Amino acid sequence: MSPKSVGELAVPTLHRAARIEDAVHQLVERRLRRTGWRINIIAYTGYGAPGWVRVMCRVLLGRPDPDDRRRGRLEKVRGWRSFATLPAKHVTVTIDAGGVRQQAKADRSGFVETVVKADLPPGWGTVRISLPDAEPVDAPVRILDPEVRFGILSDIDDTVMVTALPRPLLAAWNTFVLDEHARNAVPGMAVLYERLVTAHPGAPVFYLSTGAWNVAPTLTRFLSRHLYPAGPLLLTDWGPTHDRWFRSGREHKRATLERLSREFPDVRWLLVGDDGQHDQEIYREFAAGHPGNVAGVAIRRLSPTQAVLAGSLPAPLDRRSEGTARQKWLSAPDGAGLWQLLREAGMV
């Protein structure tokens, strides 16, 4: 797509869908601001290591609520409410982390993602995010100890939470209509993760999904309610980009794996997914390109009925392409089965 030159800068032309979306947002924002809507900061869990921390948040316009009357209803949230938001585009937030203050600008979806060069101690900590027109918020951050050599990177959909994402109609029902308390956890996966972090003290758990940042609060509540270990969510954005109608979920996962391999070159990850989407293909590619960063791959195997409803039958792994990681591939229908295979493989 040809860029437009502005002086010496090249500004890419936005996709038509993105231009339409921006125009609608601009019109709606003017109306909402006149009715008293104000800016809110939604903080996401960040991560880092001594010397740096990745901070993520989203800046949205929300209805004024001086009496906090909605707090009592937060325990029961329909999925569509997560998407009924309006981003505050291109506003500048201030981040205070470990005595370092840094500013960052939100993108056209209101998303802020930046790396702050701050020295926070290993473990859980917080950074403060603020801007003049909003209440400041504290964002949790997980700082990895330099001695950590093992981590868990888990898919979400049909790996820790039954969502049936590949089924368009049912996925839409689960995402936009269903009460979040009606979502089911995959049997045994929370226990599996808790046992793994106990066996590997200091091991982080990252949750990687093609889901939108809009549902991050819902996912966080779900993981907490079902006793999954706390950890950063690595999600993507909703809607059109500068060059296409929708973002590529596969590319998001591939790019995130590559980023983690650069940020934590000494950590070997247990990659956990399911055989209902593209996790096997993506994990196989990453294991082949970064064998030193993969401790193993654990695939939650869907039942034949689940696989058919998900849109395809699970294909057997092509072990010829797994290279040096061949013996690390494990598959079972639930967390208990995966735990037994991990024990037999000497990984715990």
Rounded distance between C-alpha atoms, residue 73 and residue 67, angstroms:
13
Q: Per the structure block, which two tokens stand in for 53?
A: 């921390």
3-state secondary structure of 45: strand
Backbone dihedral region of 285: left (phi > 0), alpha (psi from -120 to 50 degrees) or beta?
Answer: alpha
Residue 249, pLDDT score: 76
H or E segment to which residue 336 belongs: helix 335-344
pTM of the model: 0.82
Series of mean pLDDT values for 10-residue runs along the chain (348 residues)? 41 50 52 66 97 96 58 46 72 96 93 97 98 94 97 94 63 62 89 97 96 87 96 82 57 96 98 89 96 96 66 49 58 96 91
91 contacts 106 by C-beta, under 8 angstroms: yes
- Looking at residue 80, its pLDDT comes to 52
Whole-Å CA distances, 276 to 47, 189, 215, 312, 343: 29, 16, 21, 7, 25
What are the structural domains of the chain? 3-24+36-142 (2.60.40), 150-344 (3.40.50.1000)
pLDDT at 7: 42
Helix (H) or strand (E) holding 344: helix 335-344
Residue 69: its pLDDT value, please? 44
Q: What is the CA radius of gyration of the chain?
A: 21
Tokens 């125009």 appear where?
Answer: 23
| AA letter at 327 | Q
DSSP string, 253-318: HHHHHHHHHHH-TT-EEEEEEESSSSHHHHHHHHHHH-GGGEEEEEEEPPPHHHHHHHTSPPPPP-
Percent helix, strand, coil in the chain, to 5, is 35, 30, 35
* Residues linked to residue 326 through DSSP beta bridges, in sequence order: none
Q: Given this model, what pLDDT does residue 328 score?
A: 85
